[in-house]
Amino acid sequence: MSSPAPAADASGRLAEQLLRLTRRLHRAQRRYLEPLGVTPAQARLLRTVARRDADGRPPRMADLAQRLEVVPRAVTTLVDALEAHGSVRRVPDPANRRVIRIELTEAGRGTLRALRDARRAAAEDVLAPLTEAQRRELGGLLDALADDPERDC
């Protein structure tokens, strides 16, 4: 029986390390998001709503589902919760009143600022053991992996 190639072993180990780190970061983010009354999925939707479409209009529900790569029903549930939270509101499209767009409220903009602070704090918890030089090196390596359009899955 032959043993796996060293490169395959290293890739498998790196994949496991990345998965563990991702889970750790998600746990840290949940700890910081909990006091805000927002789930990670709701936070992701808020960030997506904050990005307007090419015409500068708030996104439609269908746009949000596509950007988040989820079914429309999931977006409806998230929007319902964020609307109850006071962070977003449904508004009719002035050009087509059958189309509903989702926009941030003033409270939603405040929540988004708090979310950014929470994400930074969670990242700081995870990155605390690293020196500035190590952080820059890690950032460069992550950019090299994330910015390769040929490998987009």
Which tens digits make up the pLDDT trace of 25-40? 989 988 998 998 899 8
Which tens digits make up the pLDDT trace of 108-142? 999 999 999 999 999 999 999 999 999 999 999 98
Query: Looking at the domain 19-147, which fold is it?
Result: Arc Repressor Mutant, subunit A (1.10.10)
> What is the predicted pLDDT for the residue at 56?
83
Of 101, 97, 93, nearest to 75 by C-alpha is 101
Of 73, 58, 72, nearest to 105 by C-alpha is 58
Q: In this model, does residue 148 exceed pLDDT 80?
A: no
Which tens digits make up the pLDDT trace of 46-90? 999 998 766 788 999 999 999 999 999 999 999 999 999 999 999
> What is the predicted pLDDT for the residue at 8?
72
In the chain, where the domains are located = 19-147
4-8, 13-17, 77-81, 89-93: the lowest-pLDDT one: 4-8
Question: pTM of this prediction?
Answer: 0.76
Band of residue 4 on the pLDDT scale cut at 50, 70, 90: low
Average pLDDT value for residue range 3-7:
62
